[in-house]
Chains A and B, each alone.
Chain A
């Protein structure tokens, strides 16, 4: 799965699941509160029925002439009787006449008429039976969990279905790039090999501007080919990470782009600390340096200058080019973004640099002032 596809799928799942779960949570909450009310109401009704039984027992007691009258006692509830002024008379519950004590108790007050044993009120109180409430909570929780699983799976498949057209487009684009780069490989290699042959055997080479321009154009083409291959492989190729002399490589790449710089009369000055070694795949390091240098040349003015420095493992490339507008600075690293459209290119250079920087955990900062120039710093490890 492509990273962009994964990102879209995750975003879709987050929105889909959160909205679905919100709806389920709301309906579950409504169901829970109404069921809870039912449970409490049932327990209250049970207490009401008990109060009727108790009332008939009070009537029997009132009629009895026995020297000792046993007040009814129950393990399920406590009760007490009160006179018409709501004063406590007797009971298993020693509390004032009060409707609601706390959430964990259920109270029922029954008016007594006539006043058996002088009682005008009969109060019954029992603890809330939490077992059905716990059972209800379990059921709601299970339902929510089941909903998460079912809708998670459903959302995943729906998401994949929705992003399929996007995936197909990306795959088509990728295969197009792969095919194109593959087709470009042979002619570019032929051109570069022949130029090398001319360089070797033709003594007048240095004086032929046409040949120099062909060399530069071929190198540019070769770099674009490399960049496209790098992106089309989606960086899943095997990286041969080893300790390389980045100072030497930097010198080499500066030399490589020198001809391109000369064409625009750009002066490249270097301040490269010797013998700096870092662990990196050589191809990645080349891609990173080439793209930074090529951008510095491409977006520079004719007769401008570029300062390349490598000090304390910090690679700095400063140009005197067109600069980047402040509002574009934060998006410039993304693929297909260019500083402006006056220069050609695909806008993939900084995207490749950024991906390499992120892969190796380097730090990168871009400072730019429009029409003054841009400074890019990469902190190597």
Chain B
């Protein structure tokens, strides 16, 4: 059972990452939207991952310039997206994947 579970989980993670790539990042890349910088902006304002997730979800449900973390001139360069059509569960999963992808703590090391 364990032999089966690990590949399933790995596949699931790969699929989820693919889904993030497909449903979010690919578009960001195409439009040259700086995903990492946006995450940093969220981090700078909200501190905890839970609050960041809530704020992103709230923005994606109602994507307006005034709801965004980004400054207004940002929307002069990049178009405002349409409200998400994704189900809550899927949306939350993708948000968590996004947060995990750009998590700075994972990159932190102590210089010996």
- Beta-carbon nearest neighbor of A117 in chain B: B104
- Is B40's CB under 8 angstroms from A62's CB? yes
Q: A70-B111, A71-B110, A92-B110 are in contact. Are A84 and B48 (CB under 8 A)?
A: yes
Decide yes or no whether B108 CB sits under 8 A from chain A: yes
Which secondary structure characterizes the binding site on chain A?
Answer: loop
The CA of A90 and the CA of B111, in the complex, are separated in Å by: 13
Chain B residues positioned under 8 Å from A73 (CB to CB): 110-112
- Is A67's CB under 8 angstroms from B109's CB? no
- Is B109's CB under 8 angstroms from A115's CB? no
Task: Encode A203-218 as 1/0 by CB contact (under 8 A) with B.
Answer: 0000000000000000
The CA of A84 and the CA of B51, in the complex, are separated in Å by: 10
Task: Encode B24-68 as 1/0 by CB contact (under 8 A) with A.
Answer: 000000000000100010011111110100000000000000000
Chain A residues positioned under 8 Å from B43 (CB to CB): 62, 115, 117-118
Q: A118-B104, A118-B105 are in contact. Are A85 and B110 (CB under 8 A)?
A: no
- Is A90's CB under 8 angstroms from B47's CB? no
Decide yes or no whether A166 CB sits under 8 A from chain B: no
Decide yes or no whether A69 CB sits under 8 A from chain B: yes
- Is A115's CB under 8 angstroms from B46's CB? yes
Decide yes or no whether A165 CB sits under 8 A from chain B: no
Interface residue ranges of A57-93 to B (CB < 8 Å): 61-63, 65-73, 83-85, 87, 89-90, 92
Q: Say which residue of A70, A84, A116 sits within 8 Å of B109 (CB atoms).
A: A70
Interchain pairs with CB closer than 8 A, number = 61
- Is B48's CB under 8 angstroms from A85's CB? yes
A215 to chain B, nearest CB (A): 112
Interface residues on A, range: 20 to 34
- Is A118's CB under 8 angstroms from B108's CB? no
Decide yes or no whether A114 CB sits under 8 A from chain B: yes
B6 to chain A, nearest CB (A): 27
Q: Say which residue of A65, A69, A70, A119 sits within 8 Å of B47 (CB atoms).
A: A119
Chain A residues positioned under 8 Å from B108 (CB to CB): 61, 69-71, 90, 117
B29 to chain A, nearest CB (A): 15
> Could you list which residues of chain A lie within 8 angstroms of chain B, going by C-beta atoms?
61-63, 65-73, 83-85, 87, 89-90, 92, 114-120
19 A-B residue pairs with Cβ-Cβ distance under 8 Å, sorted by A, are A61-B108, A62-B44, A65-B36, A66-B107, A67-B107, A68-B107, A69-B104, A70-B109, A70-B110, A71-B110, A71-B111, A83-B48, A84-B47, A84-B48, A87-B48, A90-B105, A115-B47, A118-B48, A118-B104
Name 15 extra pairs, CB < 8 A, besides A69-B108, A84-B47.
A62-B104, A67-B107, A68-B107, A68-B109, A70-B110, A87-B48, A90-B105, A114-B45, A115-B43, A115-B46, A118-B43, A118-B46, A118-B47, A119-B47, A120-B47
